[in-house]
Amino acid sequence: MSNGQEGNGNRAVSPNGAAPQPERRYAQIVGWGCHVPEKVITNKDLEQIVDTSDEWIRSRTGIEQRHVAADPKETTATLAIKAARKALETADVYPRHVDLIICATSSPEHTFPATASIVQDALGAVNAGAFDLSAACSGFVYGLALARGLILAGDAEYVLVIGAETLSRIVDWTDRNTCILFGDGAGAVLVAASNVPGGIQATVLGSDGSGADALSLPAGGSAMPASLETVSNGSHYIKMDGKAVFRFAVRVMADATRRVLEKAGLAVDDVDLVIPHQANKRIIQNSILRQLKIPEEKVFINLQKYGNTSTASIPIALCEAIEAGKVKPGQNIVFVGFGAGLSWAAAAIHWSVPVEKREYGWWRSYQRRASYQAAAARSMWKRALRRVYSQVLPTPDEDEWPETSPVKEPEGSD
């Protein structure tokens, strides 16, 4: 941690007990958190909705159930906020220290504003920039690559990378090809600047837009704006050529893993844990297990519980892998994903941060809760002020603008 703030970055341990190298910067994952909606839809439940069977879904995908945001008040942003708060809490970092929030999502709240901005406001991350990242299911790893780049360049100390989805809102629940696959949820990590060697070592990003049609949400953008026709013919739902995506995924998952290991100077045997995008167990088996010959016990799979949560799948799996004791300091970990675009991404991480749960005491929790309440109050106050000013005050002509604006924005302190 270069700025002496509180947080997990200081807890990074040097592999082999080597002395930290203060002159170099590293991008360490120092906080993690996830959240899924309560409502569970099992394969048996789906048998009531479409012509499918529990046996078919299990054997072709490995999925047994998925969580869905049944409450309309639960949205991509609300899931993201909960995951992000947990990540900040694990790292013991306050929102005001975050420099950037990247929300990777394929089911944003709106085309604009960015879901990340809504998250920023709710967290009270008053010093953070915020934007959404659209690279479909590869988006979370794309976000990690950006976070690493900004941190290594010295442009950020803390970057919050979130993957959050409510895919249940854009899935056609009458289409058995797609509705069995997807689930809702969010995962977040806090990436911090550190002088302890390790962290995100290398990333690989890829895209092949010639496969854009294989997986898409055709309507609602500039190519096919929303109309009565697009709504009535279901063009606002996910369309997928499952076989084409499957073939592509099996190839790129193995290739991207090989390439990221090469970039990090590692061999396949050096890998302690792979956390792949949780889309289909057969894709993972045919790529990571069969092609790379990485044994099953080194590959973390939890898609049976959540289905494919797109950008959220890798950070949710990371949280569960940590919870299950599968992540330890000194390990080499690979994240690898693929998705619409077509796109793919991989990251090689030398894990250097303790994973034991730390207790921060009631005072820290109280401060944290109070800061979120203050953020909500500040947001309401700013909204009210804007409304009042836009209704009461006429817009001044150019030459009437005073040196300082009469609309004094509330300070962003907490």
Between strands 273-276 and 332-339, the pairing is parallel
Residue with Cβ nearer ligand COA (120 or 311):
311
Which of 279, 314, 322, 348 is in the footprint of ligand COA by CB under 6 A? Answer: 279
Q: Is 173 exposed, middle or buried (0-12, 13-18, 19+ CB in 10 A)?
A: middle
- Select from 2, 10, 14, 52 the one that contacts ligand COA (CB under 6 A): 52
Out of 34, 103, 137, 319, pick the active-site residue: 137
Segment 172-211, which members bind ligand COA (CB under 6 A)? 176-177, 180-181
Which tokens in the block code for residue 290?
């069969």
Question: Is 93:6 a contact under the CB 8 Å cutoff?
Answer: yes
Active site residue 179: no
Query: Which one, 27 or 181, has the nearer CB to ligand COA?
Result: 181
Q: Which of 216, 280, 332, 352 binds ligand COA (CB under 6 A)?
A: 280
Least distance to ligand COA, CB of residue 57, Å: 6
Q: Which of 8, 28, 43, 61 binds ligand COA (CB under 6 A)?
A: 61
Instruction: Check residue 51 and give left, alpha or beta (phi > 0: left; psi -120 to 50: alpha).
Output: beta
Q: Which stretch binds ligand COA (CB under 6 A): 54-62, 90-98, 228-236, 288-296?
A: 54-62
Is the CB of 241 or the CB of 272 nearer to ligand COA?
A: 241
Q: How far is the CB of 53 from ligand COA (least distance, A)?
A: 6
Can you tell me the distance from the alpha carbon of 183 to that of 155, in angstroms, rounded to the nearest whole number? 35
Among 212, 207, 221, residue whose Cα is nearest residue 241:
212
What is the four-CA torsion angle of 173, 240, 51, 280, rounded to 10 degrees?
-100
Examine residue 315 and say whether the peptide bond preceding it is cis (omega within 30 degrees of 0): no
296-325 residues in contact with ligand COA (CB under 6 A) are: 308
Closest approach, Cβ 259 to ligand COA, in A, equals: 19
Q: Which residues of 305-323 are buried (b: 16+ CB within 10 A; e: fewer)?
A: bbbbbbbbbbbbbbbbbbe
Which of 56, 131, 173, 372 is close enough to bind ligand COA by CB under 6 A? 56
Establish whether 34 is a catalytic residue: no
Q: Which is nearer to ligand COA, 90 or 178 (CB)?
A: 178
Angle among Cα 220, 78, 85 to the nearest 5 degrees reads 135
Q: Minimal distance in Å, beta carbon 226 to ligand COA?
A: 24
The catalytically annotated residue of 8, 43, 308, 332 is 308
Site for ligand COA, residues 114 to 153, rule: CB under 6 A: 137
Task: Report the C-alpha gap between 187 and 118 in whole angstroms.
Answer: 16
Rounded to 5°, the CA angle 191-208-255 comes to: 65
Structure tokens at 259: 């390439």
Determine the interface stretch with ligand COA among 81-89, 112-120, 197-205, 240-248 (rule: CB under 6 A): 240-248
Min dist. Cβ of residue 181 to ligand COA (A): 6
Residue 339 dihedral angles phi and psi, to the nearest 5°? 180, -165
Span 358-397, contacts to ligand COA by CB under 6 A: none
Q: Which residue among 8, 277, 280, 332 is the active-site one?
A: 277
Rule CB under 6 A: say whether 243 interacts with ligand COA: yes
Sequence-ordered strand ranges (E) for 211-359: 215-216, 239-240, 273-276, 332-339, 343-350
Residue nearer to ligand COA on the CB measure, 37 or 183: 183
Catalytic residue flag (residue 308): yes
Residue nearest to ligand COA as judged by C-beta position: 242
Residues in the chain: 414
Among positions 208-227, residues that touch ligand COA (CB under 6 A) are 215
Tokens found for residue 146: 């950006």
Interface with ligand COA by CB under 6 A: which residues? 52, 56, 60-61, 137, 176-177, 180-181, 215, 240, 242-243, 245-246, 249, 279-280, 308, 339
Catalytic residues: 137, 277, 308
